[in-house]
Amino acid sequence: MTGSGPLEAGNSSNMKVRLACPECDLLHENQKIKTGHSSYCRRCGAILFRGQKDSLDRTLAYACTGLVFFLLANISPILVFKMRGNLSANQLVDGALAFLSSGYWPLGILVLFASVIAPLMVLCFLVSILLPLKYHRLPIFPEWQIRTLLALRPWAMAEIFVIGIMVAFVKLRDFADVGIGGSLVGIICMVSAMVLAFLSLDHRELWKRLEELKK
Amino acid sequence: MKVRALTAKNAGLIACESCHKLIDKGHSKTNEPICPRCNASVSQRKKDSLNRTWALLVSALVLYIPANLFPIMTLISFGKESKETILSGIHQLFVSGQWVIAIVVLFASVFVPIFKIIALSFLVISIHVGMSWQPVLRTRLYRFVEWIGRWSMIDIFMISVLIALVKLKELATVEAGPGAMAFAAVVILTMFASKAFDPRLIWDRLEGEDNGQ
Ligand SMILES: [Zn+2]
Ligand SMILES: [Zn+2]
């Protein structure tokens, strides 16, 4: 399977190799890097990992904040639509429900999953993984939780949902009176907390802590 | 003689896609090794990557036609229906002077899906023909495609907000159209296509290997 010829540098046994680049497969030593700096693949430039101070604690704090704002995002309307003295408003899950009841159920499921279920699950998984770790306990099914979390991440599209709300707002403003409801602020805060949670999550640290606890 | 780069594959290691742990290939004799750290099933390269990427891209390309031909939504106001397609919606935003939002939607709904299909097709072909041109640039292109793909969902979310919000019986209602369904399918299929593609194949080809698994 492999071609002939010498390897570029030494051989794998006498080099402390810990990491393969996820995008080009090049092996890297697990060098120590300064906190706040990222490490990049020297061949293709992919991010290998981010060095973070108190990564897990910060991620946990952001995830808890995100959960609180998620709840706040559900109590008031997102937008309010006014026309000739009539009012109508929408809440977080209403878009998905409207798709479901209008016969476009695959779109209903997609929107429900991408804008509500996946962001909520991502935040819950982060808390249920990191909270026990903080108190030196093993989370339940940690491997499964982490794998599900990583697989869900691209489908949690709350940040894109926010842009969708803004486009809808601009489109309607041409045509009628539209007001912004309190939930929009909640959703924007929830999205920011979720993005920050992922930015501060250092996967190496996460696995290191888990493996220490398993010993 | 070609100098081989020290990759996980050349060193007889498999990198777990989920937790990035390096697994010794000789360590497990089973066909489907399991990562000892996160229990994910691991393989040297994504399975059947090129064929799966092709299949998903072709499906996306086919659905791109109805996505643009059929209306994505209909506004009914005082008994008057106005149907809107992806392009006419963008046109309307431009006409009403909302050109910042118009450009955002133009990028997300028109340029990004086309760009993704062309870029991924180019990447797959570049591996089929064993291209050695600019591997760093091609990896960067892949990274960009993977990052930007989700943003095409803007229009779908916009419709979901409008149909839930604008429901004042005779005064004004918005209904979803079949174009929205096709467009959502295009977005999902291209997202799966970029997930199916394995950028490490770009680098394998540089070493003259010809098994694309
Ligand atoms: Zn690399
Ligand atoms: Zn693993």
Q: Distance (Å) from the C-alpha of residue A121 to the closest C-alpha of chain B?
A: 18
One domain, residues B147 and B165: yes
Instruction: Note whether B117 and B198 are same-domain residues.
Output: yes
Query: How many structural domains are present in chain B?
Result: 2
Domain co-membership, B174 together with B196: yes
- Chain centre to alpha carbon of residue A36: 19
The SS3 assignment for A52 reads: coil
Q: Is B165 near chain A, with CB under 8 Å? A: yes
Same domain, B180 and B90: yes
**Distance of CA A20 from the midpoint of ligand 1 (Å):** 8
C-alpha distance from A64 to closest chain B C-alpha (Å): 24
pLDDT tops 90 at residue A145? yes
ipTM at complex level: 0.91
Residues of chain A contacting residue B153, judged by C-beta atoms under 8 Å apart:
114, 157, 160-161, 164
Question: B129 and B104 in one domain?
Answer: yes
Cα separation, A148 vs A142, in Å, equals 10
Could you tell me the residue range of the domain that residue B34 belongs to?
1-44
End-to-end CA distance of chain B: 25
* Cα–Cα distance, B194 to B189 (Å, whole number): 9
Is residue B129 domain-shared with residue B177, that is, in the same domain?
yes
A5 Cβ under 8 Å from any chain B Cβ:
yes
Q: What is the pLDDT of residues A51-100, one digit of tens each?
A: 778 899 999 999 999 999 999 999 999 999 998 888 999 999 999 999 99
Distance from the A194 Cα atom to the nearest Cα atom in chain B, whole angstroms: 16
Q: Is the pLDDT of residue A150 over 90?
A: yes
- In chain A, the domains with their CATH numbers are 1-51 (no CATH), 53-214 (1.20.140)
Same domain, B114 and B204: yes
- Rounded distance from Cα B46 to ligand 2 centre (Å): 14
pLDDT, position B207: 74
Whether the pLDDT of residue A12 is over 50: the answer is no
Q: Do B161 and B186 lie in a common domain?
A: yes
3-state secondary structure chain B: CCCECCECCCCCEEECCCCCCEEEHHHCCCCCCECCCCCCECCCCCCCHHHHHHHHHHHHHHHHHHHHHCCCEEEEECCEEEEECHHHHHHHHHHCCCHHHHHHHHHHHHHHHHHHHHHHHHHHHHHHCCCCCCHHHHHHHHHHHHHHHHHHHHHHHHHHHHHHHCEECCCEEEEECHHHHHHHHHHHHHHHHHHHCCCHHHHHHHCCCCCCC
**Would an 8 Å CB–CB cutoff place A171 in contact with chain B?**
yes
Q: What's the whole-number mean pLDDT along residues A17-26?
A: 87
pLDDT of B76: 92
Q: Is the pLDDT of residue A196 over 90?
A: yes
Chain-chain contact of A165 with B17 (C-beta, under 8 angstroms): no
User: What average pLDDT does this structure show over A19-29?
Assistant: 91
